[in-house]
Chains A and B, each alone.
Chain A
Amino acid sequence: MRRAFLIVFLWMALGAGQEVPLSPVPADALGDWAQAMVPLRLRSTPAQEVQFEGPKLLLAQWGEVTLGMARFALLLGVPADGEAHLWIDLDRDRRIVPTERLTPLRGPGYVEWNATLTFAAGTEYPLGVVWPEGRGYVYLVGGAPRVGELNLDGLVARFVLVDGDVDGVYGTKGDFFAVDADGDGTIHGDPDSHERFALAEPFTVGGRSFRVSSVEPQGRSVRLASTGYVPPKPPLLPGFPAPDLQFASFPDGKPISLSGLRGKVVLLDFWATWCGPCMEELPKLLELYAAHRDQGFEIVGVSLDTSEGDLRAVLASRGVGWPIAFAGKMWDNPLAQVYRVYQIPTTYLLDRDGIIRYRDLAGDELARRVAELLQAPVSGPARAPEPLPLSLGPPRPILEIAVPPEVGVPDDGKGSVPVRLVNTSPYDAEEVRVALAGLPAGAKVSGVELARIPPFGEREVELGIELPAARGEIARATVTVLYHYCIGDSCFQIGDEVPVALAVGEGKPPSAGIPMWWILVVLGAGLLLAALLRGRALLGVAILLVGLAGVSLAVGLLRGQGVQAWRIASSLCTSCVGIEEVRAEAPAFTPAQRAALEALPKPVHLVLFSTDWCKSCPYAKALVAEAARLNPKITYELVDAEADWTRAEGAGVVRSGKVVVPALLVVPTGRILFGTTDLPARLVAALGEVR
């Protein structure tokens, strides 16, 4: 009976969501993006003992390919014939025999071999090995894409899962997926494409949003769960409108927006002074700009420099006259994030309507296309700028950083600084780099990089330090934390810092320490004993449990879980307790509602109260943005109800001491619309009350 219950519950808990069966597909059938390439360093000795039964080699370099739990020895050797050959221990018997030599494909400067490796109960993994001749490493070319179909009430979208880190296990870090989200029959899977997603990233198909809830490790299937609506990523393809960018021009601070340049042919150029090809192109751009500026040609440069001085020098010496955006954040420049820039130079050529026409043009081809677009008839007056779907206000830090104000370092100067990072938001903090800055000369420090800190999650890291300072001296330093997070399509880079004092000669060598989760294990064991023991033994277990309870409570409180409890309980997100369902579909108005919105005679201002973790809020935001797009008389603003409690209270969004989100205030009438159920109809009705 109990077993039956357990099975039913496990089935219900794990079996929810849509399962998409996947099958292998050749990467060539999809495109280069479906292949993943990772470098593998070669060594003079094999990682495990392997016997080579081939010809005598003049040069032998060993490597190892790990797929799942299977390890394949790889030998790159040059026998007496002088040609490079590759052997892979395909049957993993630790003997490389002559038949395990692969057939080479020789190209200019490289040699390529292709093999199919079999591991884990017959799983076949096509793997390419590319050796740039003369180098001590090879590239493993894998990815083994697997394709399936996502079926949504008759709408079928192709889904591709790629083993991006070439480890033979799907669902691990570096793996990604791509979906034909726009239904055009082609999967755009390039790194900056609108149809490529990291595993944890939600995606929207047919107006409904999903996330990958689980991945079968051998890639046989993925399970998708419905999730709160997220706006689809804007395509960056020719023919699509270019996402708007707004910035203060460097160095004069003049406000510039792409939408404000409608009517001009615009070259959007992502570049940096340290990028050779960009600097080679610069004289041609200057020439082109001088020739066509008067005819309505404009260049918008987004600099990915980190050094303001370098940029200033280049702009002044070359006489660059077009607006430049500079944030000093390299790849994490927020404007570059909007365009998902992953390589420079990246350029987009926009026509007079702000539509992307070409990308990555240079030289004569660029000049020809600019002239062609300038001659094209102007298709009408510049359109009103479209409101951004999400607030792109100043990015706020989402990680709380806790560092002891003073850290003792043993006499030998070797110690560590514990840093606790708590994600206070519902977004992933990604590529979190923790380092120490401002240390005296000669000090050594080892930084730490975390791939991600999940929403509301926390991580503890130790920064190793080696100080030359003498005993009793206190060194001042700064813990710097650099990371980024994304809200929908908008990603933000945050650099945060906390001061720390390092006192040499006052610390103790770090002890191994007991991981905190042991508390839970011992607590569980104690409860088990409590169920079995009796008499004084039970009393002893009870006393042990009291101690554990106290420790667990203290650990929880020290980790800020008490505050977290209060935060969770003092806000009411309407979908979280099931007052309404989370909307996974895109907001849409019916034709009649659209007509009513467009006919709205008077200006109306809307205020949307939301919190950054509320699951229904992106839907409400997208709906308000759509209403404002349909009728420019509708204006709106987004207010963080937790941050601006006074305003929320004044507007009536706080009910019985709890802030309720999402809540939409129609300013002229003071009417508040809570939640998202029937929100399009309720919004139209509320706007109809405005006289």
Chain B
Amino acid sequence: MRLRTLRRGTQGLGVLLGVFGITGIGMTHLLFPGLHCYACPLAITVCPIGLMQNLVISGTLPFYFLGAIAVYGLALGRGWCGWFCPFGTVNDLLAFRKVRFLRALSPLKLLVLGGTVLAAWRLADTWFCKLCPAASLTASLPYLGLGVAQVNTPFLLHMATLGAVLLGMALVSRFWCRYLCPMGGILSLFNRASLFGLRLGAGCTGCGACTRACPMGIVPHREINSSDCIKCGECVPSCPTRALSIGFSLPGVRGRDPLRPARARPGAHGVPPGQ
């Protein structure tokens, strides 16, 4: 099966997880590590960011949130963004322009995360939820249809955020995932230590084909599994020498160190020097 077909399948599953309520399954205790609104009428899993804010507001250390996110993060890292996240899928649908990654904006998503925690702590309110484009899409709009929501200032604010983010996605592929997503921000911390990841084998010529294929706009052969890699695997089939592969392996022993440029070409056995 082609990698992309497989990924479309898992992405479909991720979207379905958001609307599994149609099967009669009610809300569960599970966190799902993708940006989705648990206020969505059909959601069956809890949004980690929403839960984290509520736990912080209640003055509780969010152990459940951190533990679950660490488990998820150590399994796939940002692979969740590339393979399962429903809002990531929306990003993919609008990924028309694969432009280069603007590295200076990378910390923005961690600042969004920090701002979200700070707002929950200081202002005792779920400010991220009030601006979240996933909530706009899967809560505000459905509830308007159900007669629960009205067109009012918060609704218009939601629509404005959604519009701006959709526009951003159309102009820059994976715009939300690259720069703004707090969920991606926290998963990115686990990216290097996760089981799932890209491997760089022998034969990389540095031709740049993977860079042109990357929706995140990074340079995969130099930055495998770096915090901005969503492990979507788009680069894998693009490699003319098949030097890139993706799958499960132990962190630290699967390929060239992502944050450091190669000091030498990979050896014939596929493991670069220095590992």
Shortest distance between the CB of A679 and any CB in chain B (Å): 10
Of residues B31, B47, B59, B153, which shows the largest number of chain A Cβ atoms within 10 Å of its Cβ?
Answer: B59
Whether A456 pairs with B58 at a CB distance below 8 angstroms is yes
The complex places the Cα of A225 from the Cα of B111 at a distance, in Å, of 22
Chain B residues contacting A520 (CB-CB under 8 Å) are: 61, 63, 66
Residues of B within 8 A of A (CB): 21, 26-29, 31, 37-39, 41-43, 46-47, 50-51, 54-55, 57-68, 70-71, 73-74, 104, 107-108, 111, 114-115, 118-119, 122-124, 126, 129-132, 135, 139-140, 143, 146-150, 152-155, 157-158, 189-190, 192-194, 227, 250-253, 257, 259-260, 274-275
Beta-carbon nearest neighbor of A422 in chain B: B60
Once A5-B108, A530-B193, A657-B21 are accepted as A-B contacts, the answer to whether A550 and B149 lie under 8 Å apart by CB is no
Whether B51 pairs with A675 at a CB distance below 8 angstroms is no
In the complex, the 10 A-B pairs of residues with the closest C-beta atoms, listed nearest first: A456-B58, A556-B64, A553-B67, A549-B70, A538-B252, A578-B130, A552-B67, A556-B63, A561-B64, A656-B41
Once A14-B122, A545-B193, A553-B67 are accepted as A-B contacts, the answer to whether A655 and B55 lie under 8 Å apart by CB is no
The complex places the Cα of A17 from the Cα of B124 at a distance, in Å, of 12
Whether A574 pairs with B148 at a CB distance below 8 angstroms is yes
Chain A residues contacting B26 (CB-CB under 8 Å) are: 570, 657
Beta-carbon nearest neighbor of A211 in chain B: B124
Whether A457 pairs with B60 at a CB distance below 8 angstroms is yes
Whether B154 pairs with A579 at a CB distance below 8 angstroms is yes
Once A531-B192, A549-B74 are accepted as A-B contacts, the answer to whether A580 and B58 lie under 8 Å apart by CB is no
Chain A residues contacting B63 (CB-CB under 8 Å) are: 516, 519-520, 552-553, 555-556, 559, 561
Whether A13 pairs with B67 at a CB distance below 8 angstroms is no
Q: Which of A14, A542, A551, A572 is B252 in contact with, Cβ under 8 Å?
A: A542
Once A527-B190, A569-B46 are accepted as A-B contacts, the answer to whether A577 and B71 lie under 8 Å apart by CB is no
Chain B residues contacting A675 (CB-CB under 8 Å) are: 148-150
Shortest distance between the CB of B200 and any CB in chain A (Å): 14
Whether B60 pairs with A561 at a CB distance below 8 angstroms is yes
The complex places the Cα of A561 from the Cα of B61 at a distance, in Å, of 10
Beta-carbon nearest neighbor of A424 in chain B: B58
Q: Which of A13, A554, A557, A578 is B123 in contact with, Cβ under 8 Å?
A: A13
Whether A456 pairs with B154 at a CB distance below 8 angstroms is no
A576 at the interface (CB under 8 A from B): yes
Whether A580 pairs with B152 at a CB distance below 8 angstroms is yes
Beta-carbon nearest neighbor of A663 in chain B: B148
Q: A214-B122, A580-B149, A660-B148 are in contact. List 9 more A-B contacts (CB 8 A).
A: A16-B123, A549-B66, A550-B71, A551-B67, A553-B70, A556-B66, A563-B29, A566-B28, A675-B148
Chain A residues contacting B118 (CB-CB under 8 Å) are: 9-10, 13-14
Chain B residues contacting A548 (CB-CB under 8 Å) are: 70
Whether B148 pairs with A516 at a CB distance below 8 angstroms is no
Whether B119 pairs with A13 at a CB distance below 8 angstroms is yes
Interface hits, A559-587 → B, CB 8 Å: 559, 561-566, 568-570, 572, 574-581
A469 at the interface (CB under 8 A from B): no
Whether B67 pairs with A550 at a CB distance below 8 angstroms is yes
Shortest distance between the CB of B161 and any CB in chain A (Å): 10
A638 at the interface (CB under 8 A from B): no
Whether B74 pairs with A546 at a CB distance below 8 angstroms is yes
Whether A577 pairs with B129 at a CB distance below 8 angstroms is yes
A678 at the interface (CB under 8 A from B): yes
A289 at the interface (CB under 8 A from B): no
Shortest distance between the CB of B29 and any CB in chain A (Å): 4
Q: Which of A552, A568, A677 is B150 in contact with, Cβ under 8 Å?
A: A677
A1 at the interface (CB under 8 A from B): yes
Chain B residues contacting A677 (CB-CB under 8 Å) are: 150, 152
The complex places the Cα of A225 from the Cα of B122 at a distance, in Å, of 10
Chain B residues contacting A10 (CB-CB under 8 Å) are: 118
Chain A residues contacting B47 (CB-CB under 8 Å) are: 569
Chain B residues contacting A282 (CB-CB under 8 Å) are: none
Chain B residues contacting A642 (CB-CB under 8 Å) are: none
Whether A578 pairs with B158 at a CB distance below 8 angstroms is yes
Residues of A within 8 A of B (CB): 1-2, 5-6, 9-10, 12-14, 16-17, 211, 213-214, 225, 423, 454-458, 516-517, 519-520, 523, 527, 530-531, 533-539, 541-542, 545-546, 548-557, 559, 561-566, 568-570, 572, 574-581, 655-658, 660, 674-675, 677-678
Beta-carbon nearest neighbor of B44 in chain A: A657
Chain B residues contacting A458 (CB-CB under 8 Å) are: 60
The complex places the Cα of A674 from the Cα of B260 at a distance, in Å, of 55
Of residues A456, A554, A579, which shows the largest number of chain B Cβ atoms within 10 Å of its Cβ?
Answer: A579
Shortest distance between the CB of B87 and any CB in chain A (Å): 15
Whether A549 pairs with B67 at a CB distance below 8 angstroms is yes
Can you give 12 contacting A-B residue pairs, CB < 8 Å? Answer: A456-B57, A535-B257, A539-B250, A546-B71, A549-B70, A552-B67, A562-B64, A577-B37, A577-B130, A578-B155, A581-B153, A674-B148
Once A1-B104, A213-B123 are accepted as A-B contacts, the answer to whether A455 and B150 lie under 8 Å apart by CB is no
Chain A residues contacting B27 (CB-CB under 8 Å) are: 566, 569-570, 657-658
Shortest distance between the CB of A608 and any CB in chain B (Å): 16
Whether B122 pairs with A13 at a CB distance below 8 angstroms is yes
Shortest distance between the CB of B88 and any CB in chain A (Å): 20
Whether B122 pairs with A213 at a CB distance below 8 angstroms is yes
The complex places the Cα of A575 from the Cα of B154 at a distance, in Å, of 9
Of residues B57, B104, B122, which shows the largest number of chain A Cβ atoms within 10 Å of its Cβ?
Answer: B122
Whether B148 pairs with A9 at a CB distance below 8 angstroms is no
Chain B residues contacting A550 (CB-CB under 8 Å) are: 67, 71
The complex places the Cα of A10 from the Cα of B38 at a distance, in Å, of 27
Chain B residues contacting A1 (CB-CB under 8 Å) are: 104
Whether B108 pairs with A456 at a CB distance below 8 angstroms is no
The complex places the Cα of A678 from the Cα of B153 at a distance, in Å, of 12
Once A9-B118, A523-B70, A677-B152 are accepted as A-B contacts, the answer to whether A656 and B42 lie under 8 Å apart by CB is yes
Chain A residues contacting B68 (CB-CB under 8 Å) are: 553, 556
Whether B140 pairs with A565 at a CB distance below 8 angstroms is no
Chain A residues contacting B251 (CB-CB under 8 Å) are: 538-539, 542
Whether A456 pairs with B54 at a CB distance below 8 angstroms is yes
Beta-carbon nearest neighbor of A455 in chain B: B58
Chain B residues contacting A569 (CB-CB under 8 Å) are: 27, 38-39, 43, 46-47, 50-51
The complex places the Cα of A225 from the Cα of B55 at a distance, in Å, of 20
Whether B123 pairs with A561 at a CB distance below 8 angstroms is no
Shortest distance between the CB of A135 and any CB in chain B (Å): 40
The complex places the Cα of A151 from the Cα of B50 at a distance, in Å, of 33
The complex places the Cα of A572 from the Cα of B47 at a distance, in Å, of 13
Whether A566 pairs with B46 at a CB distance below 8 angstroms is yes
Whether B64 pairs with A553 at a CB distance below 8 angstroms is yes
The complex places the Cα of A365 from the Cα of B219 at a distance, in Å, of 90
The complex places the Cα of A519 from the Cα of B250 at a distance, in Å, of 23
Beta-carbon nearest neighbor of B114 in chain A: A9
Shortest distance between the CB of A426 and any CB in chain B (Å): 8
The complex places the Cα of A537 from the Cα of B251 at a distance, in Å, of 10
The complex places the Cα of A517 from the Cα of B59 at a distance, in Å, of 13
The complex places the Cα of A541 from the Cα of B251 at a distance, in Å, of 9
Chain A residues contacting B192 (CB-CB under 8 Å) are: 530-531, 538
Whether B62 pairs with A561 at a CB distance below 8 angstroms is yes
Shortest distance between the CB of A577 and any CB in chain B (Å): 4
The complex places the Cα of A657 from the Cα of B71 at a distance, in Å, of 28
Shortest distance between the CB of A524 and any CB in chain B (Å): 9
Whether B46 pairs with A568 at a CB distance below 8 angstroms is yes
Chain B residues contacting A546 (CB-CB under 8 Å) are: 71, 74
Beta-carbon nearest neighbor of B120 in chain A: A13
Beta-carbon nearest neighbor of A453 in chain B: B59
Once A213-B124, A520-B66, A568-B54 are accepted as A-B contacts, the answer to whether A578 and B129 lie under 8 Å apart by CB is yes
Chain B residues contacting A553 (CB-CB under 8 Å) are: 63-64, 67-68, 70-71
Whether B129 pairs with A225 at a CB distance below 8 angstroms is no
The complex places the Cα of A660 from the Cα of B275 at a distance, in Å, of 55
Whether A579 pairs with B252 at a CB distance below 8 angstroms is no
Shortest distance between the CB of A393 and any CB in chain B (Å): 24
Beta-carbon nearest neighbor of A456 in chain B: B58
The complex places the Cα of A566 from the Cα of B253 at a distance, in Å, of 39
Q: Which of B149, B253, B257 is A536 in contact with, Cβ under 8 Å?
A: B253
The complex places the Cα of A677 from the Cα of B148 at a distance, in Å, of 10
